Amino acid sequence: MLYGGAAAEPAPLVARIIEKKAADFNGRNRVVPRGAMHATRGNERNSVLRNVRGLAVVEEGKSTDDQWQQGADYRDGTLTTRTRQERAMPIDVDKLLSYPIPTVRQRLSRQDAAFYALSVGMGQDPADPRQLPYVDFTKEMTVLPSMALVLAHPGFWLGDPRSGVDPTQVVHGEQALTLHHALPVDTDLVSETTIEEVVDKGVGQAALLYTRKTLKDADSGLLIASTLNTTFIRGGGGFGGTGAQPKASLTMPEGEPDYVVDLPTRPEQALYYRLNGDHNPLHADPEVAAKAGFARPILHGLCTLGMVCHALVRSLCDYRASHLREMSLRFAAPVYPGETLRCEIWRDGSFRAWVVERDVLVIAQGRCIAGTAG
């Protein structure tokens, strides 16, 4: 699994060409004024970008959603849709449904919470005191909500042959997170992961696996957070299961975003983030990254999600983490450490993210609910 697991092949690279925008620097982050934005990007269902000798080429007539559902491959710098014969390896659904996904217990320490926040880029502005509660473990702490995704994680269990899945065809497609209560430090947490649904798209097509993780206080049983993971298994269809359609794509608001926040990634950020538990060499070893078709190791998808979570907490919640109650998104393309992540956010909770240097869409279909409960 590219985002959040260990497998050999990357997720599909989907994007569209956008016009570069002028930006002002406010001393803390680059913010594009609302008046400088134009409603030219629109919905992500426009085109698929492939890289040919470093040049961006748009494949007309294909939407990013269609490409994501078909199954794509990114090798030798070029985005290609693999043939049905290459992809076809139906999952063993009986093995999958009977696999004993481990229950995991983990203590959330102050140091762990601070390290996670630092690993997703918080604390880079020493003049912003609002970030200190997330990174200073000597004081009263606030935990970034996205940390729920890595806490008490069951690991890449789809890599076990007993799961009935070919791990080289696994792509982390979408992620959703619901916070029922603020993440508590100095507390033991326990997770349970269950398979919610397996969708069969047909012979030679994909299988979609929906898994839900609940995170509870190990002592009281209080539900802290729940996550929904959409895993895309290329060529895994044809096992005789339900042909239910995947969730409908969301339409982004018309007009310019209300907030645009640029967050820089550090060149060594993937090396820090992998200490949260994702040891996939694709994010550290240049040789492994090259074999996968990348110029260098790429950032973890869940690290990119954590940075987007930071942008949401900053823009919509004024750094009050308890006000971010839900977020969901689709992974569209990887980020290289050292690049700048531009987060575009609307007041209704819609959001998406781009890599500034390459004008590549990396997070699509973003939605969040922010505000006080009730």
pLDDT at position 36: 35
Each residue's pLDDT tens digit, 26-83: 333 333 333 333 333 444 433 233 332 222 222 333 333 444 444 444 333 333 334 4
Q: What pLDDT is stored for residue 172 in this prediction?
A: 85
Distances (CA, A) of 301 to 308, 335, 336: 11, 8, 11
Label residue 317 by pLDDT band (50, 70, 90).
very high
Tokens of 44: 């992500």
Return phi, psi of residue 176, to 5°: -130, 150
Burial of 177 (0-12, 13-18, 19+ CB in 10 A): buried
Condensed to tens digits (0 to 9), the pLDDT of residues 149-162 reads 999 989 888 888 99
Amino acid identity, position 331: F
Q: Which residues contact 276 (CB under 8 A, 6 or more apart)?
A: 115, 116, 119, 150
- Joined together, the tokens standing for residue 217 give 């206080």
* Active-site pick, 283, 300, 310, 323: 283
Average pLDDT value over all residues in the chain = 79
In the set 112, 166, 200, 278, the catalytic residue is 278
- For the question of residue 283 being annotated catalytic, the response is yes
- DSSP 8-class letter at 335: -
**Cα-atom radius of gyration of the chain, to the nearest Å?**
20
pLDDT given at position 40 = 35
Dump the DSSP string for 287-329: HHHHHTT-SS----HHHHHHHHHHHHHHHHHTT-GGGEEEEEE
Banded model confidence at residue 292, pLDDT cuts 50, 70, 90: confident
pLDDT tens digits for range 256-288: 999 999 999 999 999 999 999 888 888 899 998
Predicted structure pTM score: 0.77
In the beta sheet, which residues pair with residue 368? 327
At 194, give phi and psi (nearest 5°).
Answer: -130, 150
Q: Convert the pLDDT of each residue in 94-130 to its tens digit.
A: 999 999 999 999 999 999 999 999 999 999 988 899 9
Q: Provide the H-helix boundaries in the chain.
A: 64-70, 84-87, 93-98, 110-119, 132-135, 269-273, 286-291, 301-317
172 catalytic residue (yes or no):
no
The answer to whether the CB of 31 falls within 8 A of the CB of 198 is no
With beta carbons less than 8 A apart as the criterion, state whether 307 and 266 touch: no
**Helix-strand-coil split of the chain, %, nearest 5:** 25, 30, 50
